[in-house]
Amino acid sequence: MNIALLGFGTIGTGVYELINLHKGRFADNLDEPIYITKILDRDPNKKVDPSDHHCEIVTDPDLIMNDPEIKIVISLLGGMEFEYKMIKTALEHDKNVVTASKAVLSEYFAELNAIADEHHVFLRYEAAVGGGIPIIGSLNEELKINHIDEIMGILNGTTNFILSNMTENNADFDETLKLAQKIGFAEADPTADIEGYDVSRKLAILSTLAYGGIIRDEDIKKRGLSDVEAVDVEMVKSIGYVIKYLGHSKLLNKNQVYTTVEPVLFPNESMMGHVDSEFNIISIKGDVIGELQFYGKGAGKDATANAVVGDVLYVINSLKEERNPHYKTLDKDLHKMGNSGFSGRYYLRVHVTNNDELAYVMSVMNADKGRGQIVVSGDDVFFTTSEIQADVFDSLVERLKERTPKLFYARIYE
């Protein structure tokens, strides 16, 4: 069985090593040997293992797409449009595709699913959500019996590393982000991570599968993490909470979908509150099974390669057993309702520079029943509100921002 690899970066190298290193282990499951015969990379001078005489680096994708011996294409390119084009072309050339691209999937889910279905090939993407955590497979299994109506997860290693580090070292957001970049936990352009796009794409994929209709990145209400400060970490700790960056979706009344990516406070005594550093956790709730949670490494070379190779083995076994792929229709008409389906008490810190601003903040918060406990400390005013609907609180904050834009807030999960 011949396989092609698109992209020879960190994950690509991990997959290459895992397939070549671990052949002895796979042998149990395989009738014929598997070889990565072609690797697409922009740099033709990249080298594979010198003892590997089966594999060559190519720069022209057509050499892969038109190779009839290649049955599986593993796409690990990164980015969006080129990878989309490659995945689509491979499927159209009757090749089974395994990918880790949350960006491409969440953007082109319906189209790629339909092409794969039409060509009777497998399209697998376990590594696209939660890295090494087997969440896609588990979710699909539980959906055979359950209606899933809630998904919640700490899905981004970079922001979770930042929050863990801020907590541990009482450090500020900016310096911690710089540290994360220095040691390779954050990219030079961290926008996708800290503004919630990475979480949003993963949440879109899980929600689409769970609720049976397409939910896109743009349907998801996102709020970035960059307003959080050391003083927030300290204050919430003193009242028994920890800040996490959460993706959360709910299905209510059969077809109303509420989605949000935002900072949330978890109680110290919760499990979610203790998922640290580069680990991820995903919770799903079904009407029969109740709540299930899955925890593991959300990123990294080995864990992600593990998920990719797991998909490859699944495809190989399915081809051997002449099993056909089975695509669920994702055509349920879902109404995307923003975040008004969430509610809770809120933690809010507002920075004020003078008494007028303080009076303004007090009057805005006073006008609403949302005001609960108040602490004024130096130039900061801290509130913990009574229960309030998420979108109502958002609009309250918009009014505050008109005069006091330096603030941070988070829903309290209870």
Strand pairing report for 2-6 and 35-40: parallel
Q: Which residues bind a second copy (CB under 8 A)?
A: 18, 22, 25-26, 28-29, 132-134, 137-138, 141-142, 144-147, 268-271, 273-275, 286, 288-297, 300, 302-303, 305-306, 309-310, 313, 321, 323, 328
Of the candidates 302, 326, 308, 258, the one whose C-alpha atom is nearest the C-alpha of residue 120 is: 326
Compute the CA torsion angle 6, 10, 14, 17 (nearest 10 deg). Answer: 80
79 burial class (0-12, 13-18, 19+ CB within 10 angstroms)? exposed
| Residues flagged as binding site for NADPH | 102
**How many CB atoms are located within 10 Å of the residue 47 CB?**
9
H-helix segments, 98-216: 102-118, 135-143, 157-169, 173-182, 191-194, 197-211
Cβ nearer to a second copy, comparing 26 with 82: 26
Phi, psi of 68 (to 5 degrees): -70, -15
Amino acid, single-letter form, for residue 358: L
Cα–Cα distance list, 7 to 55, 236, 302, 346 (Å): 14, 43, 16, 44
Is 202 marked active-site?
A: yes
CB 86 within 8 A of CB 26: no
Distance in Å from the first CA to the final CA of the chain: 51
CB 345 → a second copy: shortest distance, Å? 21
CB 188 → a second copy: shortest distance, Å? 26
CB 312 → a second copy: shortest distance, Å? 10
Cα–Cα distance list, 261 to 110, 150, 223 (Å): 23, 14, 6
Distance CA 157, CA 166 (A): 14
Strand segments (E) across 341-406: 343-344, 346-351, 373-377, 380-384, 388-389
Amino acid, single-letter form, for residue 149: D
Cβ nearer to a second copy, comparing 155 with 305: 305
Cβ nearer to a second copy, comparing 165 with 385: 165
Structural tokens at position 298: 């959300």
Distance CA 257, CA 249 (A): 7
> Containing H/E element for 310?
helix 301-320
Annotated catalytic residue within 202, 221, 244, 250:
202
Task: Please give the radius of gyration of the chain, using alpha carbons only, rounded to the nearest integer.
Answer: 23
Cβ nearer to a second copy, comparing 34 with 352: 34
CB 57 → a second copy: shortest distance, Å? 24
Cβ nearer to a second copy, comparing 100 with 275: 275
| Residues flagged as binding site for L-homoserine | 187
Q: Show which residues are catalytic.
A: 202
